[in-house]
Amino acid sequence: MKNFFPEVRQVIRYEGADSKNPLAFKYYDADRIVGGKTMKEQLNFSLAYWHTLKGTGADIFGAGTYKRPWLQNNDPMKDAEDTVYAAFEFISKLGIPYYCFHDRDIAPEGETFAESCKNLEKIVAIAKKLQGETGTRLLWGTANLFSHPRYTHGGGTNPDAMTFAWACAQVKNAMDATLTLGGENYLFWGGREGYETLLNTNYGREQDQLARFLHMAVDYKKKIGFKGLFMLEPKPHEPSAHQYDFDSATVLGFLRKYDLLDYFRLNIEANHATLAGHTFEHELTVATADGKLGSVDANIGNPQLGWDTDQFPTNLYDAIKAMMVILKSGGFTNGGLNFDAKPRRGSTDTIDLFHAHIGAMDTFARGLLIADKIISDGELDSFVKERYSTFDSGFGADIMKGKSSFDILEKIVLENGEPDMKSGRQEMLENLINQYI
């Protein structure tokens, strides 16, 4: 068998914070128990097939800069076979438990739809064998409904019924592949489900279509007995100027309106949160407030650039705050932390893939350790609890029990006058977080 990463001869190990070995974990100690589970189970790390294996380093101003040894056959199916072996070699050497893919990442589109399906089946069979040999699992599968020109005006929201049919047929096969591979989840990211101009767009019809598309997916899920979860991944724009799945709140409202809420959770991507003008922990919090956090695409953007730069997450503050939300919601059930991230264009070597993943895994491992300590010490939580305590008894409790009214509250105001001014102590709390680092 080919060896695509000869520079890494053994599995990456935990060596502790004092290690000077760049190819070792400083914080990610897979079997260490944190918050009642192993680090491996709390974090459920996952590799993103499209970036890690298929990324070329190309950007809108220039061609690819990486020369991946598994993409050199001048034959898309041979490349696909080499790539699946390279993926599992990488996964095994890194000790990462999960991976995610789009149908077209793992197998190329054929001349006809039938040929595309055959290509997919062939690679899925190899992936299944390699999953068995390595113990790797599929976090989620999805269909790429955005790269091929036929989806220029959308998949499920396309104004043309034939293109809509193609989107459904493609998702059907991607769901079959996910079922075959025992996927924990199936994902819908609305790649081109959005619009460029309202001059040619019927917004209401496209919303109704998207709901029909998702309802048919639910029907098919039931038909084939797929037990994994369905997820939607919010993003505000890019590639469309206006993406329908703008942010967590928008998606939850859409799901409620169309009676889809019971069937879906959210996959929150950090860089999408920042593009929507939110923080990562805001989007996670909105999802968990509805009990709808499914999984996470862990990456960061670049504040100077303002587009979806999909960088590996190295920001410890973000990781701590995200892990606090995730742990407080009870941790992942079917989800995990998927590195939807790519090395920079100038990070040209295959070894850079190891550095990138090791750094990201260590960032979240450290974030987990710190978040767990902050939560178990309880200082922050007790501050927040105290802040709302006037709603825990007296007329405050009556309000929330539905036992109050504007008349009653007006009487209370007339009798008691101005409320007390109470500091939110933001700086004190920020200092508290810093003390844990």
Catalytic residues: 102, 105
CB 70 → ligand XUL: shortest distance, Å?
20
Q: Work out what residue 79 binds among Co ion, ligand XUL, none; the CB cut-off runs from 5 to 8 Å by kind.
A: none
The alpha carbon of residue 357 and the mean position of all alpha carbons in its chain are separated, in whole angstroms, by 15
Task: Quickly list H helices, 71-160.
Answer: 76-94, 103-106, 113-134
Identify the CA nearest to 159 among candidates 193, 188, 191, 187. 193
CB 44 → ligand XUL: shortest distance, Å?
16
What is the H or E stretch that residue 232 is in?
Answer: strand 229-233
Task: Give the tokens for residue 183.
Answer: 């996927």
Distance between CA atoms of 292 and 265, rounded to whole angstroms? 5
Tell which one of 193, 245, 269, 318 touches ligand XUL (CB under 6 A): 269
Instruction: Check if the beta carbon of residue 328 is closer than 8 Å to that of residue 373.
Output: no
Tell which one of 46, 119, 142, 157 touches ligand XUL (CB under 6 A): 142
User: Considering the rule CB under 6 A, would residue 189 count as an interface residue with ligand XUL?
Assistant: yes
CB 309 → ligand XUL: shortest distance, Å?
10
CB 381 → ligand XUL: shortest distance, Å?
32
Q: Work out what residue 192 binds among ligand XUL, Co ion, none; the CB cut-off runs from 5 to 8 Å by kind.
A: none
User: Considering the rule CB under 6 A, would residue 264 count as an interface residue with ligand XUL?
Assistant: no
Distance between CA atoms of 429 and 437, rounded to whole angstroms? 13
**Residues comprising the chain, all counted:** 437
Distance between CA atoms of 209 and 155, rounded to whole angstroms? 10
**Total residues in contact with Co ion, by rule CB under 5 A:** 3
Identify the CA nearest to 331 among candidates 127, 41, 80. 41
CB 342 → ligand XUL: shortest distance, Å?
10
User: Considering the rule CB under 6 A, would residue 105 count as an interface residue with ligand XUL?
Assistant: no
Instruction: Check if the beta carbon of residue 360 is closer than 8 Å to that of residue 366.
Output: no
User: Considering the rule CB under 6 A, would residue 283 count as an interface residue with ligand XUL?
Assistant: no
User: Considering the rule CB under 5 A, would residue 269 count as an interface residue with Co ion?
Assistant: yes
Tell which one of 89, 340, 362, 372 touches ligand XUL (CB under 6 A): 340
User: Considering the rule CB under 6 A, would residue 103 count as an interface residue with ligand XUL?
Assistant: no
Q: What is the DSSP letter of 312?
A: P
| CB nearer ligand XUL, residue 235 or residue 278 | 235
Give the binding site for ligand XUL (CB under 6 A): 102, 142, 189, 233, 235, 269, 297, 308, 340
